Amino acid sequence: VNDNGSGWCFSCATHLPNYSTAEVQQTDTITDFEVYQRNSRMDNNSTATFNELTDRKISIDTAKKYGVKSTKTADGKIDQHYYPYYKLDTGEVSAAKVRDVKTKGFSSSGDVSGVGFFGQQQCTNNKYLTITEGELDVLAEYEMFYKQYDVVSLRSGANNASKEIKEQLEWLEGYENVVLCFDNDKAGDVA
């Protein structure tokens, strides 16, 4: 969201002149996309805790490794995920993406300047790295490969892959193998 109230959707590459009242039409690459106002829990997610993400078969250990917290409804169902983004120079959380489980919509808060890929702060392998398009992809791939390899995600999807990879090129060159694992859609194919 820009200072003037406009916004940009990195998922569907759409400019939103007035973010607070925007409606985006469904496309072949986005389902159940909904723009919504910031939830108060996003900026002060004191009710968020580490949980197993059972609908995605993500263990609590993986959620903890990547710092992913979630909130639950009164009946105990997870309704939001919080994905932290860390400053590369200080290691402090600078921004967060929030995923609404029901709508699959995203919102964010904080400052993404000076942050790397999602998950970059915990990387240690220096041999194999996989770059995905989304935070849930990171968690799933980390589980899938038995926690052996480093996995990170682009901050804002395939449309900005080239820019984000160039920003982190020096860091990426420390790996022997870098695998791009993007979605099988037009944006992923182009990237």
Query: What percentage of the chain reaches a pLDDT higher than 70?
Result: 80
Residue 36, pLDDT score: 30
What backbone torsions phi and psi does residue 52 show, to the nearest 5 degrees?
-70, 135
Determine the straight-line distance between the first and last CA of the chain, rounded to whole angstroms.
24
Please give the single-letter amino acid code of residue 152.
Answer: V
SS (H, E, C) 78-89: EEEEEEEEEECC
Look-up: residue for tokens 């490794």?
Answer: 65
Model pLDDT for residues 12-25, shown as the tens digit of each residue: 566 677 776 665 54
Query: What global pTM score does this model have?
Result: 0.75
Interatomic CA distance for residues 156 and 95, integer angstroms: 13
Mean pLDDT for all residues in the chain: 82
For the record, the structure tokens of 22 come out as 């925007």
Beta bridge partners of 81: 70, 99
Model pLDDT for residues 112-158, shown as the tens digit of each residue: 888 999 999 989 877 899 999 999 999 999 988 867 789 999 998 89
Closest CA to 93 of 73, 110, 76: 110
